[in-house]
Chain A
Amino acid sequence: MEKNINVTLKIWRQSGPKAKGKFETYKLDQVSTDSSFLEMLDVLNEKLINEHKEPIAFDHDCREGICGMCSLFINGHPHGLDPGTTTCQLHMRRFNNGATITIEPWRSAAFPVIKDLMVDRSAFDKIIQAGGFVSVNTGGVPDGNALPISKVDSDEAMDAASCIGCGACVATCKNSSAMLFVAAKVSQLALLPQGKVEAAHRAKAMVAKMDELGFGNCTNTGACEAECPKNVSISHIARLNREFLNAKFKD
């Protein structure tokens, strides 16, 4: 049932990539527990604007957990404490009256802060550009049913493909590793016959790009899997390692 709570927000403010940031504290009263976390931030921003102060910059778009635009490190967890949830799907009913909530941007050398809570995640795009695709042009492809694919493989590929590219895995990893992100794509395509042809090249090219862009190595802590809002499994990292080693042995 709906009720209202009062919260104290400690929010990271940083005017630009090179500027020094710091936490600012805001009190927000009468927040509806039915509102989403981002709607709570909207209310705060509306208040700041009415006081002629600069609103807090944060990324968000679809607000239904699929675009991967929202981020936020909430009380030490990417997308907050709820499992399998993006920040935009987090609701204020998960917080107690009087709670203090700390909100930070993703922290990773590969994701520099743009402003306040917004970070630059274009490194993810660059990794995909290095090989996260099947090299087919438009047109001239066989019939969709020409090649049967086992439902088990197809379903597993779908689970890997549900990655939304939000960067929570990197943000939570003590090494800032992008292994889960890379593995999700390598694994999806390696599981499907369409992607197998280039599997070796893909694994090498994407891993090389990841290293080049300043992401750290994987030490199997499993934090990425625990925090992934789409529950992408680290078993895909095992498959990536297999694909990568196979490719290297062939060299």
Chain B
Amino acid sequence: MAQKQGSTSVESNQIDAKIPEGALAEKWNNYKAHQKLVNPSNKRRLDIIVVGTGLAGASAAASLAEMGFNVLNFCIQDSPRRAHSIAAQGGINAAKNYQNDGDSVYRLFYDTIKGGDYRAREANVYRLAEVSNNIIDQCVAQGVPFAREYGGLLDNRSFGGAQVSRTFYAKGQTGQQLLLGAYSALSRQIGKGQVKLFSRHEMLDVVVIDGRARGIIARNLITGKIERFFAHAVVVGTGGYGNTFFLSTNAMASNGSAAMQMYRKGAYFANPAYVQIHPTCIPVHGDYQSKLTLMSESLRNDGRIWVPKRKEDAEAIRSGKLKPTDLLEEDRDYYLERRYPAFGNLVPRDVASRAAKERCDAGYGVGNTGLAVYLDFSDSINRLGEKVVRDRYGNLFQMYEKIVDDNPYKTPMMIYPAIHYAMGGVWVDYELQTSVKGLFCIGEANFSDHGANRLGASALMQGLADGYFVLPYTVQNYLADQIQVPRMSTDLQEFVEAENAVNDKINKILKIKGKKSVDSIHRELGLIMWDFVGMGRNKTGLQHALEKIKEVRNEFWTNVYVPGQVDNLNNELEKALRLSDFIEIGELIARDALLREESCGGHFREEYQTPEGEALRNDDDFAFVSCWKYTGEGNEPVLLKETLNYEFVQRQQRNYKS
């Protein structure tokens, strides 16, 4: 069923994504109609490990348990309800067409493919659009309090990259409500004993026996004890690696370590260079800063983005001599509306982020650093009244005011792009299985369905699609062959070796006893990543970054100081282990960005742009998923390619202008 190649230079090392035959709209139905099933009495004999309790992990764990499998579920937080999906604000897309504005499964599919700059798999994205409607139904049935109209039906709003209103939301807390829905389904299964929960446990390795994933090694974060767990299949949904940049909108403990453990055990790491930089975040304000806060994209529904038209006004604002509200309408440059008349303030995130950077780099930025633009609600407040704006975005405005100490109802918000989401991740085939048998990867942790850029309100959709409606089917197809496999002892050689390797690594880190804290080294890594592997990348900068990352690696392994012991609660040790992986991910990101001599979506190589400064793809040479294969510590990874064969959509230069 391998996809046949087009006219690219890629011949060798081809990867098969196992995409089912048939017309686009029939592939998933065909798959489900012909997949293998496991009967109820056999399900009871099969164990599945699910790592992570975010939208993908919790929904997968709950759904698998409902089907009758025994599930072991792990999370690093004190409760599954605290996974970082909780922080998603704006909404979740679905092709319901409740607004009668011309939406359909095909249009959601098309917008997502186009939004991803034609670097996603057609079959996966179509499946995602298909199941999007089931997700809304499921969540409503769980009691998720989506926003409603006065007639009692569900309300929708618009998001970037779409000309229809297909986004369902629950105030500015949609992620919270969807996660609590999945958490309630999970809790029900925990109560029944069908899921065994291990909170405050961190996966530290995956155990592979005879080429199949058979368990994990995890550290109990309270006692420090290293523990072994067996299962017939392992599912990982541990989120993205945005914290490689130190400052991001991710939670403090969000990390990419599980992905790196899978990578080191043979799973390919795909498209690491595709990292999303979200246009509307609160700007950086100090060097003690620990994280960046997102202001939901939904704000771009009613907020207008601008900078001063004249440089001298921008300078006056930066030095505090002028207020933004002093500027007349004709002295403001609504640059997104000017450059992209058709989509205006609702262009996709990558486009909006680059446009902000372009204005700030040209000297029109505001705020005391000059690295900020305005997001202005005065027009909407005049048009709709403050109450309506407060009803829609009240909690976001409050969040902004607490951080910046400025009232956004009176003066425009200041925003600037920040690292937000990882489109890249562990490579998976159509079944969400990695290149290691029995090892599955879901949610943001996989390289997923977003291509080179994710549209707003699509992450929640993908996480829940994977967990509720895709993985429970595909895991079953895998396990149907495993019903004869008995539960294995965790005293097997492979478990012992994996645990020993984990212990060795921990002891090595604790013994360094250098001079620098984990955070200080992480900040260094973050600065390199932001400066040279961030919004604008070029060959020289990326090569420089690769050199600098080597220095950071050396600094870490010779000069980090980690206090405390291994057999105790030790936050610094947890952070050190995660940082050791962020350094490797940082290198992979830079390496992948250097390889990809084109601009697409969130990956912008300054050498490859149109005369108007838009991303310039190179479909002849780069219409592939870059899959990095680990070849041992200190060795260069090998590049494999999955060619993206577009059968149903014609690739075009993305156009948000007309």
Contact = CB atoms under 8 A, between A and B. Distances in A.
B415 to A, nearest CB: 15
B289 interface: yes
Interface in B84-115: 84, 86-87, 96, 98
A155 B145 CA distance: 7
A72 interface: no
B14 interface: no
Contacts of B177: 158, 161
Contact of B59 (A62, A129, A138, A147): A138
A132 interface: yes
B563 A157 contact: no
Interface in A40-88: 42-43, 46, 49-50, 52-55, 57, 59-69, 84-85
Given A61-B84, A67-B86, A135 B188 contact: yes
Nearest to B170: A158
Interface string B141-175: 11101111111111000000000000000110101
A1 to B, nearest CB: 9
Contacts of B25: none
B469 interface: yes
A149 to B, nearest CB: 5
A97 interface: no
Given A39-B289, A57-B569, A66 B79 contact: no
A188 B143 contact: yes
B638 to A, nearest CB: 36
A89 to B, nearest CB: 5
Given A134-B143, A154-B148, A114 B222 contact: yes
B187 interface: yes
Interface string B514-533: 00010110000000000000
A133 B60 CA distance: 17
B92 to A, nearest CB: 11
Interface residues of B, number: 79
Nearest to B149: A151
A200 to B, nearest CB: 16
Contacts of B490: none
B628 interface: no
B417 to A, nearest CB: 17
**Interface SS of chain A: helix, strand, loop or mixed?**
loop
Contact of B173 (A32, A59, A162): A162
A206 B469 CA distance: 30
Given A85-B402, A148-B151, A69 B286 contact: no
B579 interface: no
A63 B251 CA distance: 7
Contact of A145 (B62, B98, B143, B253): B98
Contact of B572 (A38, A55, A195): A55
Q: Please indicate which of the listed interface residues A50, A67, A84, A115 has the most CB atoms of chain B within 10 Å of its own CB.
A: A67
A138 B399 contact: no
Contacts of A93: 405
B152 A165 contact: no
Contact of A55 (B63, B184, B563): B563
A151 B285 CA distance: 40
A150 B513 CA distance: 62
B239 to A, nearest CB: 12
Interface in A106-125: 114-115, 118, 120-122, 124-125
B188 A129 contact: yes
B8 interface: no
B2 to A, nearest CB: 31
A93 B141 CA distance: 44
Contacts, number: 215
Interface stretch (B132-140, B333-341, B449-457): B132-140
B610 interface: no
B12 to A, nearest CB: 41
Contacts of B98: 145
B154 A145 contact: yes
B451 to A, nearest CB: 27
Interface in B177-235: 177, 180, 183-185, 187-188, 190-191, 197, 199, 222
A121 B398 CA distance: 27
Contacts of A164: 176
Q: Please indicate which of the listed interface residues B138, B148, B520 has the most CB atoms of chain A within 10 Å of its own CB.
A: B148
A68 B82 contact: yes
Contact of B561 (A49, A84, A141, A192): A49
A83 B398 CA distance: 12
A66 B290 contact: no
Nearest to A191: B145
Contacts of B251: 61-63, 67
B82 A61 contact: yes
Contacts of A89: 399, 402-403
A64 B572 contact: no
A137 interface: yes
Nearest to B221: A114
A61 B519 CA distance: 15
Contact of B563 (A49, A129, A137, A155): A49
What 9 A-B pairs come out closest when comparing CB atoms?
A: A148-B152, A133-B184, A129-B191, A141-B141, A158-B145, A138-B63, A144-B140, A157-B145, A61-B251
Interface of A: 2, 32, 34-36, 38-39, 42-43, 46, 49-50, 52-55, 57, 59-69, 84-85, 89, 91, 93, 114-115, 118, 120-122, 124-125, 128-139, 141-145, 147-151, 154-155, 157-158, 161-162, 164-165, 188-189, 192, 194-195
19 contacts: A34-B285, A55-B563, A61-B253, A64-B87, A64-B293, A64-B399, A67-B87, A89-B399, A122-B199, A124-B79, A138-B66, A142-B137, A154-B145, A154-B147, A154-B148, A157-B145, A158-B170, A161-B180, A188-B143
Given A42-B288, A49-B561, A129-B190, 12 more contacts: A39-B290, A42-B519, A43-B288, A54-B564, A66-B175, A85-B402, A121-B78, A125-B79, A142-B137, A151-B149, A161-B177, A164-B176
Interface of B: 59, 62-63, 66, 77-82, 84, 86-87, 96, 98, 134, 136-143, 145-154, 170-171, 173, 175-177, 180, 183-185, 187-188, 190-191, 197, 199, 222, 251-253, 285-286, 288-291, 293-294, 398-399, 402-403, 405, 468-469, 472, 517, 519-520, 561, 563-564, 569, 571-572
